[in-house]
Chain A
Amino acid sequence: MSKPARYIRHVKVSEREGAGEWKAERLSSLVLIPLALWGLWSAWTLSGAGYDGALDWFRSPVNATVLAITLLISVWHMNMGLKVIVDDYIHKPSSRTALLGLIGALCLLLAAAGVFFIVRLALGSAPLPAGLGA
């Protein structure tokens, strides 16, 4: 634990990963500001548009790409935020590790499933589950 402290311009360098997490939280927040506004605009477009309207919307490569990027950055940001909440309230190391593992797995599943659905919708694939084997 007690490595010699490192300094950059007289400021102590973190011995762990705190600074990296801090920067990643701010970077994802900044990127999510325009994406959230785009999401509001998209929600406006999709509301009441029905299945055909949704399919039309997904066929646009810009919509599909921005939605996939928004989903991935949101899940990344969400994973970091949930980790902070768990770190704050769960003090038993084994419980914390287990909970963080579960949250990470759920986030990965959500991201993977979401991108899978978006890609299929963008390509105009046949509806699931029939299209799975095609």
Chain B
Amino acid sequence: MSSSPLPGDASNDPVTDQTGRFVRQPNGRVRPLSPHLQIWRFHITMWGSILNRFAAGALSVGTLFIGAWLAAAAFGSDAYAGFAGLMGSPLGLLIWFGVTLAAAYHLTAGIRHLIWDAGSGLTPKAADNLTVASFVAALVIAVGFWIVLFATGKVVL
């Protein structure tokens, strides 16, 4: 495939390009360079995507805490009491709130992705709305869950 330069704009000629707008790919072909992060206008689906990957990473760390909880239970009452004491501290509760929030958002963002995969909600407006909905639903689930935990006295600070 050959790309002919646009008339009157020398910088669109990939061979003589001096602007850095074209790069030579590893396979030898000359291709336009993608605009870099700094000049993208941030939009909400971008945040949705970044936060979803961040939540996935946080949940990966969270599985280690789940594993530690299973181990503590299997190692008996002393180990379990020690683990529960650590996790009932302000820092421990913050960790578990973070895991709850990450799980809630990974869930709602995942449902959003499944809707997209099914071919729905792909216009810019619908995609934005789905992303806002996934943020709101995740916050409602996570914050609501912890409000109820504190309100019923199951967790005390």
Give chain A's interface residues, CB within 8 Å of chain B.
26, 29-30, 32-33, 36, 39-40, 43-44, 47-48, 50-51, 54-55, 58, 71, 74-75, 78, 81-82, 85, 110, 113-114, 116-118, 120-121, 127-129
Q: Which residue of B lies closest to A82 (CB)?
A: B60
Q: Is there an interface contact between A128 and B103, defined as CB atoms closer than 8 Å?
A: no
Q: Is there an interface contact between B63 and A129, defined as CB atoms closer than 8 Å?
A: no
Interface SS of chain B: helix
Binary interface encoding of chain B residues 85-119 relative to chain A, with 1 for a CB under 8 A from any of its CBs, else 0: 00000000000000010010001001101100100
Residues of A within 8 A of B117 (CB): 26
Residues of A within 8 A of B56 (CB): 78, 81, 85
Q: Report the bound CA distance from A128 to B74 in whole Å.
A: 6
Instruction: For the complex, count residues of B whose C-beta is within 8 A of A.
Output: 35
If A33-B107, A85-B57 touch, does A54 touch B63 (CB 8 Å cutoff)? no
Q: Which residue of A lies closest to B117 (CB)?
A: A26
Taking a contact as CB atoms closer than 8 A, the residue among B66, B81, B110 that contacts A51 in the complex is B81
Tell whether B154 is near chain A: CB-to-CB under 8 Å.
yes
Residues of A within 8 A of B141 (CB): 40
